[in-house]
Structures are given as C-alpha cells and as structure tokens.
C-alpha cells in the first residue's frame, strides 16, 4: 500500500460549529494487485471522524501490510476516515478485477434485488441561511437548474424568521419540489415541538437534527407530528443501530467518511431500510475520489431518495477531474469499472512501500 497526503483549498471559508473550514486535508491510499490498482481517500473532519494526525498515524501503521489485513485491523468507530480510505481502495480494485462498477459490487453486498443499477441518482440543492430575498433567489436558481429537492439551513436565525423564510420558499416553488430543513441541533424540545407543528401546516419533507445530538428520546417524541425527523450529527455520537433501537428517526443521513467506508455505509443503509427508515447519503466536503464513491454508494441503494452529493463546487482545486456531472438535479454514475474512468493518474500515485 501507499499513502500520499494532500490539501485542497475551499473557494471560500465554510462556517461550522467548530469554526471555519478553509481547506480539506487528507490522504490518498493506493494498492496494486498485479495489473490492477485501486485508490481510496481518507479525508478526516474533526467532530465527525478522527483528527488529521490520528488518521495519518493509523494509515502509516497499516501501510506496510496488505490492504485486506489493514482493513481488518482498522476500527471504523475509532478511525473512520482511515478505514474509509483502505476500504475504498480494496473495493475499487475488486470491482475493476470483476469488470463491474463500484455501485454493482456494493449493491450485491448490501441488497438482495435484481433491479439494475441506475445511470443517475437524485441530489438535493443546499440553500444557506440568508434573508428571505436571498433564500428565495437561491431557491429559484436551483429549481431553474432542475433540482426537485431543496435543503434549507435553519436554526441560525430566530425561529419566527426561519418560519417566514420557509413559508416564502414554499410559496415560490411548485408542489413537486420537496423541502428539507436542517437545524443542526439548534433547538430545545419546546421550540422544536412548536416549530414541527407549524412546519406540518406548511408542508415539508423532513426536518434534520432539530435537537442536540444526544437527545434521541426528544427526537423520538417529535415523530408522528406531520413532519418526518432526520438525524445526522447524532450518528457521530452514536450509531444507526442505536437510532433504530430508539425509534428516533424517519430518515438517517449517512456520511461514508464518518462511518468507516463504503462497505459500512451500504450495510447501515440496509439496516435502516429493514427498519423502514430512509437512508440519505451525503459527503463531508471530500475530494473527488470520495465524492465519486459516495455517488456509487447512493446508486447501490435501490430507489434511493435524493442525496447530498453536489459539494464539489465548494473546492477551489481537486485531486482529479470530476467524472460526475450534476444535470437536472441528478448526479451521473461514471462510466467504467471500479470508481470509473478518469482515475488512472491517482491510482498510480504515491510510492509503493
């Protein structure tokens, strides 16, 4: 195996609860099996994964072993980004060896169905927390580009201001456009209950993380009030299985980099489906290798709902040309085997150890 560090600058700083993100640092992980070369990406995001230093240390420790031994030695709950990188490299190589797409390999591992792998998967557009006018303008632009699912950031402004924004967006779009809201754990139980009742009257698809990450009981109590409840940040502190056991969600937002790789992401999506919970796949502002893998993961889930995969435009530079196009609100599955065509240069990168 080989491990190569990289750093990708964002076009503009992205504000988060942990402070602004200005760049994404990570590692390409590669392996060679005869003439087959596989590549993975480990891009840690503190708060969701291990630190950059912990990821680097872990990858260096396993780099002298073969990839199969390495992935078995890694704990996806402790070092999910490192596990993601090795798992993806193995999967990329295996799919190429079998002359199949990564999506086809993952579908077989996670779901028992004869349905064909789709050529595209639906994605949502993400709208920030601007003024009413800014929000409606951004929404109109997204709908004009063909997006049928819109995800609005809420929870930063006062609740009444957010309700005004949501109502304005609802009035500005056709009934066929689905609205999703993401509160990032901003509200307490009383506020969340009141807002859910009011949002049910407006009509939205789901409300993501209305309560703090640890309040699974509160999330469970919000269900059945006319708005589906989604969890995202809670999965960084617990697990999909725990959320299922707590009956805390109608939707789970699965980040492959944060759960330990494509194999684990598909496994968790299947767990959610078995519990009649919708899985949604999103990225953690990753490089093109991991973003492309996320599209394959979404395509592996039969009849997947819209996912949060349109994040490449946030980066000022990337690891390779993006083989995924976003057209009419859908992400295209790349042609070719494994991750797809266009990754030969990164597959050959690094130094064999």
The proportion of the chain whose per-residue pLDDT surpasses 90, expressed as a percent, equals 85
Q: Is 145 a catalytic residue?
A: no
Q: What is the pLDDT of residues 309-347, one digit of tens each?
A: 988 998 999 999 999 999 999 999 999 999 999 999 999
Q: Torsions phi, psi of 208, nearest 5? A: -95, 130
Q: Mean pLDDT for each consecutive 10-residue tract of the chain (353 residues)?
A: 95 70 94 92 94 96 84 90 96 97 96 94 93 96 96 94 96 94 95 97 96 96 97 90 96 96 97 96 95 98 96 93 96 96 88 41
CB 189 within 8 A of CB 229: no
pLDDT the model gives residue 18: 55
Alpha helices (H) along the chain: 52-62, 67-73, 80-97, 102-110, 132-144, 159-172, 189-202, 216-222, 234-237, 240-245, 256-259, 262-274, 288-300, 344-347
Write out the residue limits of the CATH 3.20.20.120 domain(s) in the chain. Answer: 120-339
pLDDT the model gives residue 33: 85
pLDDT the model gives residue 16: 57
In CATH, the number for domain 120-339 is 3.20.20.120
CB 296 within 8 A of CB 312: no
Catalytic residue among 11, 145, 255, 278: 255
Write out the residue limits of the CATH 3.30.390.10 domain(s) in the chain. Answer: 2-99
Q: Which CATH number fits domain 2-99: 3.90.1300.10, 3.30.390.10, 3.30.930.10, 3.40.605.10?
A: 3.30.390.10
DSSP string, 25-87: EEEEEEEEETTEEEEEEE---BTTB--HHHHHHHHHHHTTS-HHHHHHH--TTT-HHHHHHHH
DSSP string, 177-215: SEEEEE-TT---HHHHHHHHHHHHHH--SEEE--S-TT-
Whole-model pTM? 0.95
User: Which residues, listed in sequence order, are joined to residue 9 by a DSSP beta bridge?
Assistant: 23
Q: Which residues contact 15 (CB under 8 A, 6 or more apart)?
A: 21
CB 55 within 8 A of CB 83: no
User: 54-77: buried (b, 16+ CB within 10 Å) or exposed (e) per residue?
Assistant: bbbebbeebbeeebeebbeebebe
Catalytic residue among 11, 145, 151, 153: 153
pLDDT the model gives residue 15: 63
pLDDT the model gives residue 353: 34
Q: What is the pLDDT of residues 122-155, one digit of tens each?
A: 999 999 888 999 999 999 999 999 999 999 999 9
pLDDT the model gives residue 47: 86
CB 223 within 8 A of CB 247: yes
What does the block give as tokens for 187?
């509200």
């Amino acid at each position: 195996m080989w491990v190569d560090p990289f750093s990708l600058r964002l076009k503009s700083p992205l504000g988060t609860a942990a402070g602004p993100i200005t760049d994404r640092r990570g590692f390409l992980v590669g392996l060679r099996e005869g003439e087959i070369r596989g590549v993975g990406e480990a891009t840690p995001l503190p708060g969701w994964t291990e630190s950059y230093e912990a990821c680097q240390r872990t990858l260096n420790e396993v780099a002298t072993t073969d990839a199969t031994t390495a992935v078995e030695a890694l704990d996806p709950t402790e070092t999910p980004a490192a596990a993601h990188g090795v798992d993806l490299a193995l999967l990329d190589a295996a799919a190429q060896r079998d002359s199949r797409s990564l999506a086809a390999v993952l579908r077989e591992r996670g779901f028992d169905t004869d349905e064909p792998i789709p050529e595209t998967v639906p994605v949502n557009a993400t709208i920030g927390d601007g003024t009413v006018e800014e929000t409606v303008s951004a929404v109109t632009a997204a709908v004009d580009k063909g997006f049928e699912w819109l995800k609005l950031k809420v929870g930063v402004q006062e609740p009444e201001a957010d309700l005004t924004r949501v109502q304005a967006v609802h009035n500005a779009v056709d009934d066929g456009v689905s609205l999703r809201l993401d509160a990032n754990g901003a509200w307490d139980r009383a506020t969340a209950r009141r807002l859910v009742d009011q949002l049910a009257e407006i009509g939205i698809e789901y409300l993501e993380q209305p309560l703090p990450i640890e309040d699974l009981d509160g999330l469970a109590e919000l269900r059945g009030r006319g708005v589906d409840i989604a969890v995202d940040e809670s999965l960084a502190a617990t697990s999909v299985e725990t959320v299922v056991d707590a009956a805390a969600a109608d939707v789970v937002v699965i980040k492959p980099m944060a759960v330990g790789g494509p194999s684990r992401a598909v496994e968790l999506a299947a767990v959610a489906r078995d519990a009649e919970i919708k899985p949604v796949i999103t990225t953690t502002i990753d490089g093109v290798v991991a973003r492309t893998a996320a599209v394959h993961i979404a395509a592996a889930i039969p009849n997947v709902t819209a996912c949060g995969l349109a994040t490449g435009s946030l980066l000022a530079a990337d690891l390779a040309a993006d083989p995924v196009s976003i057209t009419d609100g859908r992400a295209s599955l790349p042609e070719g085997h494994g991750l797809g065509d266009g990754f030969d240069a990164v597959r050959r990168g690094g130094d064999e150890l």
